[in-house]
């Protein structure tokens, strides 16, 4: 069975948590496409050309322990704005989406560009303030100020939504899932219900 769930939305809205839960519940493979861009960003920080890094990513690149740092996230967002990087990663993502047994992909342009024919499309969002608070909690050990995290979230939103190639936006037929006032369990339950309904 080939069944694709596309989950899009801004940083720290809950895409990854929801994607993992959907994949686990239905036995689908899961791809956090942001990891691909983070791996490219990490290599770019180390001096590699982003397009070249995207063309030859390895499993080791995706397993790096530093992929969740703020510096890598910033580099990933910049790399994702480069058409050559996006093109290099496009085929990888589309092959993953069409794998036998079902697949869940989360990112910024899954429902609009990578998998426009996905059986289920979700756009997961939340207010910038709530997303910044969530990210700040993740980064608490770094001592970064909440105001700085909020500035970073807003800058990244503007960059992701404003890029000329595959800007972040909801697909026309996506189900909007605003997690601002939802618990994790409530958000996951709504996503599971949407996928279950589509599967019949």
pLDDT tens sequence across 14-69: 999 999 999 999 999 999 998 999 999 999 999 999 999 999 998 889 889 999 88
* Residue range 148-174: mean pLDDT, rounded: 91
Query: Is pLDDT at 77 greater than 90 in this prediction?
Result: no
* Rounded Cα–Cα distance for residues 137 and 143 (Å): 10
In a domain, 122, yes or no: yes
Which residues fall within 8 angstroms of residue 42, CB to CB, at 6 or more apart?
A: 61, 64, 66, 67, 72, 75, 76
Query: Is pLDDT at 166 greater than 90 in this prediction?
Result: no
In a domain, 33, yes or no: yes
Domain of 62, CATH number, reads: 3.40.50.300
- Rounded (10°) CA dihedral 28, 11, 92, 190: 20
pLDDT band at residue 167, thresholds of 50, 70 and 90?
confident
Query: Is pLDDT at 119 greater than 90 in this prediction?
Result: yes
Q: Which of 83-97, 108-122, 178-192 is the least confident region?
A: 83-97
Residues of the binding site: 9-17
* Rounded Cα–Cα distance for residues 68 and 13 (Å): 15
- Measuring CA to CA, which residue among 26, 9, 22 is closest to residue 174? 9
In a domain, 10, yes or no: yes
- Measuring CA to CA, which residue among 104, 132, 134, 126 is closest to residue 176? 126
Q: How many CB atoms lie within 10 A of CB 173?
A: 10
Q: And the tokens for 113?
A: 């560009």
Mean predicted lDDT score pLDDT of the chain:
93
Q: Which domain holds residue 36?
A: 4-181
In a domain, 186, yes or no: no
In a domain, 189, yes or no: no
Strand, helix or coil for residue 46: coil
In a domain, 38, yes or no: yes
- Rounded (10°) CA dihedral 83, 121, 38, 28: -130
Residues of the binding site for ATP: 9-17
Report the pLDDT value the prediction gives residue 91, as an integer from 0 to 100. Answer: 85
pLDDT band at residue 125, thresholds of 50, 70 and 90?
very high
Q: How many domains does the chain have?
A: 1
């Amino acid at each position: 069975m080939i069944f694709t769930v596309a989950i899009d939305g801004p940083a720290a809205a809950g895409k990854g948590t929801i994607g993992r839960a959907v994949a686990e519940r239905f036995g689908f493979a899961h791809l956090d496409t942001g990891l691909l861009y983070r791996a490219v960003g990490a290599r770019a920080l180390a001096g590699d050309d982003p397009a070249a890094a995207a063309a030859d990513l390895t499993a080791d690149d995706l397993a790096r322990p530093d992929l969740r740092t703020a510096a890598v996230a910033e580099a990933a967002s910049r790399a994702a704005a480069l058409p050559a990087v996006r093109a290099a990663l496009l085929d990888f993502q589309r092959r993953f989406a069409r794998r036998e047994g079902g697949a869940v992909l989360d990112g910024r342009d899954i429902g609009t560009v990578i998998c426009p024919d996905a059986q289920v499309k979700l756009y997961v969002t939340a207010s910038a303030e709530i997303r910044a608070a969530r990210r700040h909690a993740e980064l608490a050990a770094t001592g970064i100020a909440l105001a700085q995290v909020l500035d970073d979230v807003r800058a990244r939103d503007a960059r992701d939504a404003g890029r000329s190639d595959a800007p972040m936006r909801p697909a026309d037929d996506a189900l909007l899932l605003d997690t601002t006032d939802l618990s994790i369990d409530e958000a996951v339950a709504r996503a599971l219900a949407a996928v279950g309904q589509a599967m019949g």
